[in-house]
Every structure is written in C-alpha cells, then in structure tokens.
C-alpha cells in the first residue's frame, strides 16, 4: 500500500540514510529549502510492509501554477531524483502502485526526474544528458584524462596567473558568489534564482555541512565561483559563475580542479556535473573535456504529458532584454517566474 508522509518523518530520514542510492536531493533539507523559497508543498510517497517499514519511497513537491499548470514533481530544480527502494521487485511494485493510485491521490499528474520501469501508464522522455566524473582514481591519473588543450592547458595557465582559491561555508561567501551569478546570468540572458533561495540554501544545506562555496581571487578581485553540494558518496557541481572581464585568467578551471581534488581527498566517489540540454553542444563539450562520462537522462511521467518550457521567439526576446538591461531586470524576472517552472 502507498501512503503519503511528512518530509520530516523520522522513518523517511532513516530510510534515506540507509539507502546507498540516496543523493542530496532525497534529503529532507533539500525539500525544505525549496518549500520555504517557492511555497511548494513537500511530502513523501512511500510503500510500507505489513510491519510499517518503508520498502520504497519518493520525495515529491506539489506545484500549483496559473502559468505552467498544477502537478507533482520529484523534484523541482533537481536534475534527477529516483525512487529509493530495497530491491528491484519493490521498485516495480512501487511504480505500479503509483500509476494505480494516481487517480486516488487526486494528483494532477506526476513528473519523476528519473527513468522508471517500462510499465503501462508511464511515459518516458529523454531531453537531456547528464555527466559524471568518477573520483576513485589517483589525482594525477584523473588529470591525464582531462582534455589537453581545453582543460589541462587552462589549469596550468591559471596556476601561473596568481590566482588564490578559497573554500567557505559562510553566508558572506555565498552572497559574493550570488553577485558573480548575477553577472553570468545577465551575460547569457537568463533570469537568476531569487536571492531568498540562496539564503535558504545556506541555512538548510551549506550551514548543515552538506555543501560549500569555492571562490577564485586575483589580487583583490573575486573573479569566479562555484557552489558544491555533497551527501553520501556524491558531490554535485550545482552552480558556477565568473566575471566576464577576467575569463582570460581561467579562474573557473582553477577552482574546479581544486574542488575535484577536495572530493578525492574526502573519499567522494562521484562528481555530478548536472544535466545538459541535448542541443547545447558547447556545454556538453566543456563537461566532456573534464573526462566525464555522458549518459542519457530520462524523465518519467504519470497521468500527464511531458512539459515543454522552451517558448521559441518569446524566449529569445527575454534573453535580449536581460542582456541589454541592468542586472536587476534578470533578478526581478527570476523572482516572478522561477516558482512557476520548477
């Protein structure tokens, strides 16, 4: 039987801790961060045995939007989030029950950001690639896997540019990154996440020992930054930003190499570089240059059709407006529209 429990339920927290496949996105703190930022209702759909023990479960958030529709998502602003389960039989039964109970739960449709078993009632779609870097090798061997001209050269060049890398869990450092993020998003014509989100990210994730900020400095100027999250054996390269005026110093390459070494030294097994749209060849090439493994990222849908948020000419107009406007425009648009996308 399936049931809905609170995201803070102690049994769910313990199940996450004991699940080898759990990532930060399964941790209740991540759902709480999103809920307090965007107002989504968080909960967990679980399958229990006769003794009340959880056999499988999935964190979910309810999005109610006049712009993009009402739906359940596992999880918003998360590149992937699979059900956690004890064995393959439990997974298949859980998915079967999820399809069967979709109407009973009065769900407006469920989007699950992972590939589910091929069952009737489940529609699967691949729109992205995801890239992983295995960290279980010696650092010098990892370095050899980096593309010589595109990555090794840039790391060596940065080492000669008097760049200093700092690592921090302080809110002040995250706000320094946020200012860089504003510039980067303006350059690409993309709205930025609400500032409140970064405060909540610090409060519930970074300040709880599940993430950090790395900043690259040149003399008295911060020229690049990255936000890294970690849980279990996985690191996530969640956000990166750089000052366009200092791209020739390769600060991003220096801090990414520093983060990779940190992951190796702290016994993490995987560095997750996030999803990439299939048509974004430039970003794919950048990630592949670091020796990452590329996999198709397939999302699953129950009781709803796959969502398409690309709006063609409208999107291009927004990009041009943000690029030609003060950074405050991208910030305001993000405050208004991010909660509708999820």
pLDDT at 311 over 70: no
CA distance 147 to 83: 35
pLDDT at 105: 67
Count of C-beta atoms within a 10 Å radius of residue 309: 9
Helices 10-18 and 28-38, interaxial angle, to 10°? 120
DSSP reduced 3-state for 263: helix
Q: Give pLDDT tens digits for 225-259.
A: 999 999 999 999 999 999 999 999 999 999 999 99
CA distance 263 to 271: 8
| pTM summary value | 0.95
Q: Give pLDDT tens digits for 132-151.
A: 999 988 999 999 999 999 99
> Of 305 and 139, which is predicted with more confidence?
139
pLDDT at 200: 98
> Of 16 and 332, which is predicted with more confidence?
16
pLDDT at 306: 73
pLDDT at 312: 64
pLDDT at 201 over 90: yes
Q: What percent of the chain has pLDDT over 70?
A: 97
Q: Give pLDDT tens digits for 59-112.
A: 999 999 888 888 999 999 999 999 999 999 999 999 999 998 887 766 788 999
Average pLDDT score over the chain: 93
CA distance 155 to 167: 18
pLDDT at 309 over 80: no
Top-confidence range, 76-85, 304-313, 316-325: 76-85
Distances (CA, A) of 26 to 21, 31, 75, 98, 271: 9, 8, 9, 18, 17
> Of 328 and 222, which is predicted with more confidence?
222
pLDDT at 318: 76
pLDDT at 166: 98
Q: Give pLDDT tens digits for 25-50.
A: 999 999 999 999 999 999 999 999 99
- Residues contacting 104, CB < 8 A, separation 6+: none
Q: What is the mean pLDDT of residues 6-22?
A: 97
Helix (H) or strand (E) holding 331: helix 327-341
Pick from 118, 121, 70, 117: nearest CA to 91: 117
pLDDT at 277: 92
């Amino acid at each position: 039987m399936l049931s809905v429990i609170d995201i803070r339920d102690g049994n769910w927290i313990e199940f996450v801790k004991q699940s080898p496949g759990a990532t930060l996105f399964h941790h209740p703190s991540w759902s709480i961060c999103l809920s307090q930022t965007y107002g989504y209702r968080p909960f967990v759909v679980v399958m229990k045995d006769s003794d009340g023990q959880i056999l499988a479960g999935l964190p979910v958030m309810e999005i109610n939007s006049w712009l993009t529709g009402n739906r359940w998502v596992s999880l918003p602003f998360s590149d992937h989030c699979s059900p956690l389960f004890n064995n393959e039989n439990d997974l298949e039964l859980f998915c079967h029950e999820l399809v069967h109970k979709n109407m009973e739960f009065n769900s407006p449709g469920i989007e699950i950001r992972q590939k589910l078993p091929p069952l009737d009632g489940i529609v699967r779609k691949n729109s992205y690639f995801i890239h992983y870097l295995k960290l279980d090798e010696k650092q010098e061997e990892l370095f050899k896997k980096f593309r010589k001209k595109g990555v090794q050269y840039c790391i060596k060049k940065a080492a000669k540019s008097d760049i200093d890398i700092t690592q921090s869990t302080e809110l002040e450092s995250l706000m320094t990154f946020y200012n860089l993020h504003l510039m980067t998003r303006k350059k690409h014509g993309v709205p930025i996440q609400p500032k409140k989100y970064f405060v909540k990210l610090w409060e519930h994730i970074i300040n709880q020992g599940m993430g950090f900020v790395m900043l690259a400095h040149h003399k008295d100027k911060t020229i690049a930054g990255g936000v890294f999250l970690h849980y279990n054996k996985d690191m996530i390269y969640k956000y990166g930003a750089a000052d366009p005026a200092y791209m020739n110093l390769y600060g991003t390459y220096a801090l990414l190499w520093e983060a990779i070494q940190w992951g190796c030294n702290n016994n993490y097994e995987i560095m997750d570089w996030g999803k990439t749209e299939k048509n974004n060849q430039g970003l794919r090439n950048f990630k592949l240059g670091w020796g990452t493994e590329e996999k198709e990222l397939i999302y699953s849908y129950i009781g709803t059709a796959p969502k398409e948020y690309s709006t063609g000419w409208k999107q291009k107009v927004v990009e041009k407006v943000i690029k030609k406007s003060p950074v405050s425009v991208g910030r305001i648009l993000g405050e208004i529209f991010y909660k509708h996308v999820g």
